[in-house]
Structure 1
Amino acid sequence: MAQSNNQVESAAALSDADIERADAILREFADDYVNDPMAINSTFGIRLGQQWWTVSVARRETPSARGRLTDHTFGPHEVSLTRGRPERPTWGFRIASLDVLERIASGEINAGTAAMQSFGSDRVGVETGDMRGFESTAGDEAEMYLALSHFFTKGKPEVTRFGAANALVTHGAPTTALHMMKGFRILFFSLPPDGEVNSDPRLEVGQMPNLFVITSGTGVMHSDDGPIRLEAGMSVFVAQFVKHQFVNDGDEPLEGVLVLYGDNSDFAFGTSYPAYLEDLNSWNREYEFRKPQPEEETSQ
């Protein structure tokens, strides 16, 4: 059964056996990350109790001599996991307990689900944040989201199980994080009969657009335009600062996929989502997709 994700207590102390077990789990993740096509250059910390680990990643991509993306190879990357705090302050993850890490390693929940918060004050299984003396940029947060989704998972492709046994409650609904990136986050939700989403007035509007794709069940969304009937086979795009409160008034779970666009930290200090898109579009106009190929570099 889904649990509230804002009541997770941090581990008070770890035994030597706990530390060794955590080290073994993290080394399995690091060894798998060596061949992960989504790995990117980064250095970050992982903290469990008072124990720190440092992860450093140097991405390896071999381009095709013919200039064809289908011929590119990704990895093996250089991935190191060392015990101890990162030498230079950076961003990282704080894992609440060995039990949380074990559940992530088993696939019962994933790190993205364990990190979900309704409010910044929520105590969650995986906290993300900056070390003292470091202030993340938007680029650092983008690296963090990728590591959250891909460092703590294994395999090619990576499998995420969703449903009541793999969910935590956020905004009032049992939810599973399917994939996290800076620009968008994809989640699965399952709202039980009589359940409500965003019943707290502080949550009924947000800084980010939301796309709800209803796959099963029925319900009502209370919006700026009044009530909207929800049913399988429809989607609802909710722009920033538009009211969206859900109620399941049916006999079956109201289920679907939610896409969150952007990140709250992008819009907390005056930038709106449309302004963010305009800045992103300006960058895209200057971006060159075609990169130098090996034979071009040799001929220069």
Structure 2
Amino acid sequence: MMRLKSIILTGLAAVTASGTTTPGVAMAQHNNQVESVASISEAESERVDAILREFVADYRNDPMALNSRFGVKLGQEWWSVEVRRNETASARGRLTDHSFGPHDIVLSRGAPEQPTWYFEIASLDVLERIASGEVNAGTAAMQSFGSDRVGVETRDMDGFASTSGDEGDMYIALSHFFTKGKPEITRFGRDNSLMTHGAQATALHMMKGFRVMHFSIGPQEVANDDPRMEFGQMPNLFVVTSGQATLYSDDGPVEITEGMSIFIPQFVRHRIVNDGDEPLEGILVLYGDNSDFAFGTSYPTYLEDVNAWHRDYQFHENTQDDE
């Protein structure tokens, strides 16, 4: 038995296993309960293997590859990925002269020999959509609640308990292992976004300290209308690029329009009502992770801890590996 990774991610619903879409919106859908397939055929297994090998081939030359070891599971089938980053500094030792890759990456059939974290993909259809760039893995993995069943689940194997640092490794893999090219392109907009919190959104990039999304709230739509979603343990920064709406918060209603940024600290209620005729769109930055602050640590305490760590941090000299 595998232990479900108990991580609460404010974010996105996931693609449906059947591939159905809401009429008029190519990737948006409101149901965030995606059923995973129990098994796949040998032909499907071979296709999964081929897709993962394409990701590995690209990741070998990705400057964002990190030393890591994780699993991928689809149906009853397992794959194991081991990454050893190769970074070479020049004689001058300047970062601009560093070269990254080719990294040593081994993809093998079967579960990882040592317990670790892994990605469970709901279906081959979900993986195909990720491979084509129609939806990215970060989008497919985002949850509004821990009970959500999504297209890409992050889980721990029995005998392994992820740390906050492991979650950071997961974010990097979601953003970079499951993408291709340099630079890596993510398409966003209402035609290829997913519904969450009353808005349509696309995950643009995910790191431990912050996650970046594009959001779109349609006319007469309300974001965070569910009382459980009115506030969170971490700050949000909304950068509005088009449209107008009304923000209801602790200070009462505020009209928000294009060209505004709104920083909402932790535990400040916020509900956005689009009472205009056009979508309200922009960029949302989520600082930190709910899972870091759910059991007593506040975001300001987290910042103090991070700043204390940086006071003692020593830059590495010319080095090939950071393990």
TM-score category, normalised to shorter length: over 0.9
Match of 1:226 among 252, 259, 266: 252
Q: Corresponding residue for 1:150? A: 176
Residue 139 of structure 2 aligns to a residue whose secondary structure is helix
Distance 1:197 1:137 in 2: 31
Q: Is the 8 A contact 1:206 1:242 kept in 2?
A: yes
Q: Corresponding residue for 2:195? A: 169
Distance 1:205 1:7 in 2: 22
Distance 2:120 2:150 in 1: 10
In the TM superposition, structure 1's runs of 4+ consecutive aligned residues that sit over 3 Å from their partners are none
Distance 1:293 1:6 in 2: 46
Distance 2:257 2:318 in 1: 50
1:134-213 equivalences under 5 Å are: 134-213=160-239
1:6-45 equivalences under 5 Å are: 6-45=32-71
Identity of aligned residues (%): 71
Q: CA RMSD in A?
A: 0.9
User: What is the one-letter code of the residue matched to 1:74?
Assistant: F
Alignment of 1:241 with 2:306, yes or no, is no
Alignment of 1:293 with 2:307, yes or no, is no
Residue 202 of structure 2 aligns to a residue whose secondary structure is strand
Residues 5 and 86 (structure 1), Cα distance of their counterparts in 2 relative to 1, 3 Å cut: farther
Deviations 1:99-147 (A, max 9, x none): 0000000000000010111111111100112111110111111100000
TM-superposed CA distance for 1:6, in Å, is 0.9
Distance 2:287 2:268 in 1: 14
Structure 2 gap segments, 5+ residues each = 1-24
TM-superposed CA distance for 1:166, in Å, is 1.8
Distance 1:35 1:152 in 2: 13
Distance 1:13 1:129 in 2: 18
Distance 1:227 1:34 in 2: 50
Match of 1:122 among 140, 144, 148: 148
Alignment of 1:216 with 2:242, yes or no, is yes
User: What is the one-letter code of the residue matched to 1:135?
Assistant: A
Task: Give the TM-score taking structure 1 as reference length.
Answer: 0.96
Q: Corresponding residue for 1:263? A: 289
User: What is the one-letter code of the residue matched to 1:174?
Assistant: Q
Q: Is the 8 A contact 1:5 1:117 kept in 2?
A: no
Q: Which is bigger in relative contact order (C-alpha 8 A, separation at least 6)?
A: 2
Query: What number of residue pairs does the alignment pair up?
Result: 293
Deviations 1:203-227 (A, max 9, x none): 1010010000000011011100001
Distance 2:317 2:212 in 1: 33
Q: Is the 8 A contact 1:5 1:123 kept in 2?
A: no
Task: Give the TM-score taking structure 2 as reference length.
Answer: 0.89
Alignment of 1:283 with 2:309, yes or no, is yes
TM-superposed CA distance for 1:32, in Å, is 0.5
Residue 250 of structure 1 aligns to a residue whose secondary structure is coil
Q: Is the 8 A contact 1:5 1:168 kept in 2?
A: no
Match of 1:52 among 60, 63, 78: 78
